[in-house]
């Protein structure tokens, strides 16, 4: 096999990025909140059917805004999975709040909704589900608990662009939702993100926090006659250059998602054999979750196997990787957070998960070669070619069986 060169994630462009960047530059207005920002925001607002969408510099920034809007005060607790990116927790800690780490479900690696209630105390202010790999958390149950206890729900939908739960886009369930357009995500603008505001009572304050704590947005709409400092805030808005790039990606978001799904499905189909033989476990996507192929992962039997598979892939030019160090086991997590429950699943899976390369512009040939390398590394004999012919052979066997039983 010739040596491959497949990065974990490869930039996919749609073809309109340069055109829009040129338009932004020629307009002479490249600071934030210009025409591309407005186009992205209204595109997203319509996509989500939400009250308001604000572009941010990152999902991290959107989560920080969400923590301010949820009014997290020193000592307030926010329930979240330990198996997530640091930004989910940092946003809370920056307000003096306490992240409360709860275990995940073994099938989707999302917050285990059955363990949320036991983690609630008189200090609990919010629940922050994370849609891992673009597969929706169990929002019906999470929203029911939040309603019962009067808690704010903040979706960390960093990985959730163009994915749905029960036919509604991720990001439309919480009071607030945070998206990422970081270069490693499905829809990208280098760095970038968005805060989706579904709770009408939070819209006005969100605009103020976004504009450094001023009522500048109201001033530009002619609602106040001068603008001034009215609340806390920061510079959360991206420049027009970022928004111009993002707009070209949003326009083709469905196509990007379909291309990723084609790769994901090919991996998934090919690894069925290894799954049936008990060599790996494949991701499980519940039928009511329409995912976006953000991540293709395999669960291996041990850290040793993962190290060996990673090394084999690397030797052939394929960059696979693992994922989060659980936050409850990190130095800052131990300092700032607390755990609820034993986090058995989180502790078990974090050493065994292997993420394979995934990009909208990966060729199916690259996918096939990566599949072959994983088979090799696990000492499995099946070639990709045999895999893809298997269903036809099976069908023939079944037909023969039927024919025989008729005799
Ligand atoms: C990527 C990611 C973030 C951070 O996104 P940025 O845009 O890089 O700030 C936060 N949470 C999760 C779950 C992520 O995957």
For a mutational test of ligand 1's pocket, the pick from 87, 131, 193, i.e. the residue with the most ligand atoms closer than 8 A to its C-beta, is 87
Each residue of 225-236: pLDDT tens digit?
999 999 999 999
Q: In degrees to the nearest 10, what's the CA dihedral of 201, 203, 204, 208?
A: 130
Does residue 196 carry a pLDDT above 90?
yes
In angstroms, the CA 12 to CA 366 distance is 15
- The CB of 87 under 6 Å from ligand 1? The reply is yes
Residue 126 has pLDDT above 60, yes or no: yes
Distance CA 346, CA 296 (A): 18
Q: How many residues does the chain have?
A: 407
Reply yes or no on whether the pLDDT at 320 is more than 50: yes
pLDDT band, residue 143 (cuts 50/70/90)? very high
Which ligand 1 atom sits nearest the alpha carbon of residue 58?
Answer: 7
Burial 287-309 (b: 16+ CB within 10 A, else e): eebbbbbbbbbbbbeeeebbeeb
How do the residues of the chain divide into helix, strand and coil, expressed in percent and rounded to 5? 45, 15, 40
Substitution candidate for ligand 1 out of 135, 180, 358 with most atoms within 8 A of CB: 180
Instruction: Decide whether any atom of ligand 1 lies within 6 Å of the 130 Cβ.
Output: yes
The span from the CA of 28 to the CA of 198, in Å, is: 33
Question: pLDDT tier at 3 (50, 70, 90 boundaries)?
Answer: confident
Q: Report, as an integer, the average pLDDT of 91-98.
A: 98
Confidence check: pLDDT of 405 > 80: no
Residue 386, pLDDT score = 53
3-state secondary structure (DSSP) of residue 101: strand
| Domains, the chain, ordered by start | 17-251 (3.40.640.10), 253-405 (3.90.1150.10)
- In this prediction, residue 401 carries a pLDDT of 40
Contacts (Cβ under 8 Å, ≥6 apart) of 378? 274, 279, 280, 305, 309
Mutate to test the pocket of ligand 1, among 9, 59, 128 (most ligand atoms within 8 A of CB): 59
The answer on pLDDT for 397 being more than 50 is no
Is the pLDDT at 23 greater than 60? The verdict is yes
Q: Is the CB of 156 under 6 A from ligand 1?
A: yes
CA 189 to chain centre: 15
Q: How confident is the model at residue 399 (pLDDT cuts 50, 70, 90)?
A: very low
The whole-number average pLDDT for the span 125-137 is 98
CA angle 236–242–244, rounded 5-degree value: 130
Our mutation pick for probing the ligand 1 site, out of 56, 64, 85, 128, counting the most ligand atoms within 8 A of Cβ, is: 85
pLDDT digits (tens, 9 = 90+) for 101-121: 999 999 999 999 999 999 999
Q: For residue 159, how far is its CA from the centre of ligand 1 (angstroms)?
A: 7
Ligand 1 contact via 180 beta carbon (within 6 Å): yes
DSSP string across 318-357: B--B--PPPGGGSHHHHHH-EE-S--HHHHHHTTTEEEEP
For residue 391, the CA-to-ligand 1 centroid distance in Å is: 39
**Are 61 and 179 a contacting pair, CB within 8 Å?**
no
Longest dimension (CA), the chain: 91
**Cα separation, 239 vs 250, whole angstroms:** 17
pLDDT for 392? 44
Beta carbon of 159 within 6 Å of any ligand 1 atom:
yes
Q: CA–CA separation, 117 vs 61, rounded Å?
A: 28
Pairing of strands 98-102, 77-81: parallel
Q: What is the pLDDT of residues 352-392, one digit of tens each?
A: 999 999 999 999 999 999 999 999 999 986 555 555 544 44
Mean pLDDT of 53-74: 98
């Amino acid at each position: 096999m010739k040596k491959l060169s497949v990065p974990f994630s490869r930039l996919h462009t749609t073809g309109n990025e340069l055109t829009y960047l040129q338009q932004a530059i020629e307009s002479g207005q490249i600071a934030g909140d210009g025409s591309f920002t407005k186009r992205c925001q209204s595109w997203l607002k319509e996509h989500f059917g939400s009250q308001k969408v604000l572009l941010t510099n990152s999902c991290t920034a959107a989560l920080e805004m969400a923590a301010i809007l949820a009014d997290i005060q020193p000592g307030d607790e926010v329930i979240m999975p330990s198996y997530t990116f640091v930004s989910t927790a940092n946003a809370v800690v920056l307000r003096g709040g306490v992240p409360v780490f709860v275990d995940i479900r073994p099938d989707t690696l999302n917050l285990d909704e059955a363990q949320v209630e036991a983690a609630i105390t008189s200090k609990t202010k919010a629940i922050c589900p994370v849609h891992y790999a673009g597969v929706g958390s169990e929002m019906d149950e999470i929203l029911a608990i939040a309603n019962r206890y009067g808690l704010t729900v903040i979706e960390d939908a960093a990985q959730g662009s163009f994915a749905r739960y029960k036919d509604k886009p991720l990001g439309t369930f919480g009071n607030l939702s945070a998206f990422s357009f970081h270069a490693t995500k499905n829809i990208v603008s280098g760095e970038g993100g968005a805060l989706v505001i579904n709770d009408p009572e939070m819209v006005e304050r969100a605009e103020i926090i976004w504009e450094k704590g001023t009522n500048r947005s109201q001033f530009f709409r002619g609602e106040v006659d001068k603008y001034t400092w009215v609340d806390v805030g920061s510079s959360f808005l991206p420049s027009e250059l970022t928004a111009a790039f993002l707009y070209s990606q949003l326009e083709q978001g469905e196509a990007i998602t379909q291309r990723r799904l084609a790769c994901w499905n090919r991996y998934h189909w090919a690894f069925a054999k290894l799954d049936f033989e008990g060599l790996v476990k494949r991701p499980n996507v519940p039928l009511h979750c329409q995912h976006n192929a953000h991540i293709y992962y395999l669960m291996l039997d041990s850290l040793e196997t993962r190290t060996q598979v990673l090394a084999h892939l690397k030797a052939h030019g394929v960059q696979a990787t693992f994922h989060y160090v659980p936050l409850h086991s990190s130095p800052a997590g131990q300092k700032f957070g607390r755990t609820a429950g034993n986090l058995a699943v989180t502790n078990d899976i974090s050493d065994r998960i292997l993420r394979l390369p995934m990009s909208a512009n990966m060729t199916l040939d690259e996918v096939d070669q990566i599949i072959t390398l994983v088979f090799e590394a696990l000492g499995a004999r099946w070639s990709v070619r045999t895999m893809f012919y298997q269903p036809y052979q099976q069908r023939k066997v079944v037909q023969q069986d039927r024919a025989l039983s008729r005799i």
